[in-house]
Amino acid sequence: MMKFLFAVSLFLFSITHLFAQDFIVKNNDDVIRGTIKGTDYFSVLISANDESDVFLPAKDVKNFFWNGNAFLSKGFANGKNFEYRFVKVMELGAVNLYSFGGGDLVPAAKDRKVRFRPSVGIGAGTGGFGGMGMGGGISIGGGGNARREKPAGASVVRYFIEKPGSGPLQELSVKAITDDNKRAAVRTILLQKLGDAPGFKEKVEYSAEYNIRDVIELVKAYNEVKK
């Protein structure tokens, strides 16, 4: 019996350790495991199998898991162009809440050598975080020097809300709301996303601050009701 319990404990420890490890899910569902060194929300740098650095832009990735947090690749309209960025998952359910930015988290990249190689996949068919996230075609190239400039706008934290099936991501201007127009805009978006659940129209309308803590609690409560 003791041998059996030891074997079970060892198995559970191994599973916990496996899923605690950083990993990236590419567009073709290949998985790269190792140690993620950072992200600037437009790209991610991982030491694949803790051996060689692999640098991936958001358009080539579905999602990744780093330091206990999930990040998804999402498409954003940028003027006439369309670009992919990573967003950090804050709440996930009937309504999703994400954050973008918060400092340049990638190590200094000037003249950094990054060796590109095919994904160190351990199998295909995984959907990542529930199969969510978007990405473009794979474009892993050969070796060379990588010179990265700090992306504009990545240092400011921005928040986005999404209700699958009801349109694209919408930005919530919940920071530094100083006038009634901004407060009304946030209230309108929250009513559109949460107002179909009993009691939530009143909760949204009576929220005074509309800071990110209030929004997180509202979305979390809504997702519990909609389970």
- Specify the 3-state DSSP secondary structure of 187: helix
For the chain, give percent helix, strand, coil, nearest 5.
Answer: 25, 30, 45
Closest to 92 (Cα-Cα) out of 226, 220, 225, 192: 220
- Ranking 40-49, 125-134, 136-145, 155-164 by mean pLDDT, the lowest is 136-145
Hunting for tokens 């209030």 — which residue is that? 214
Closest to 151 (Cα-Cα) out of 116, 98, 103: 103
In this prediction, residue 93 carries a pLDDT of 95
> In what helix (H) or strand (E) does residue 31 lie, and over which residues does it extend?
strand 31-39
Q: What residue ranges in 58-193 does DSSP mark as E strands?
A: 61-66, 69-78, 81-91, 96-100, 112-113, 145-146, 158-162, 170-172
* Residue 76 clears pLDDT 60, i.e. is over it: yes
pLDDT tens for 197-220 read 999 998 888 776 778 888 999 999
pTM here is 0.70
Neighbours of 89 (CB within 10 A): 18
Could you give the percent of the chain with pLDDT greater than 90?
40
Could you give the percent of the chain with pLDDT greater than 70?
65
* Residue 114 clears pLDDT 50, i.e. is over it: no
pLDDT tens for 141-198 read 333 333 344 455 456 889 999 999 888 899 998 765 656 677 788 889 999 999 999 9
For residues 101 and 153, what is the distance between their CA atoms, to the nearest angstrom? 7
In this prediction, residue 154 carries a pLDDT of 55
For residues 144 and 218, what is the distance between their CA atoms, to the nearest angstrom? 47
* Residue 70 clears pLDDT 70, i.e. is over it: yes
State how beta strands 96-100 and 61-66 pair.
unpaired
In this prediction, residue 60 carries a pLDDT of 96
As a whole number, mean pLDDT of residues 65-90 equals: 91
In this prediction, residue 59 carries a pLDDT of 95
Average pLDDT score over the chain: 74
Whether the Cβ atoms of residue 159 and residue 219 lie closer than 8 Å to each other:
no
Q: Pick 140 or 204 by higher pLDDT.
A: 204
> In what helix (H) or strand (E) does residue 55 lie, and over which residues does it extend?
strand 52-57
Q: Two tokens at 199?
A: 């009691």
* Residue 108 clears pLDDT 80, i.e. is over it: no
As a whole number, mean pLDDT of residues 104-116 equals: 46
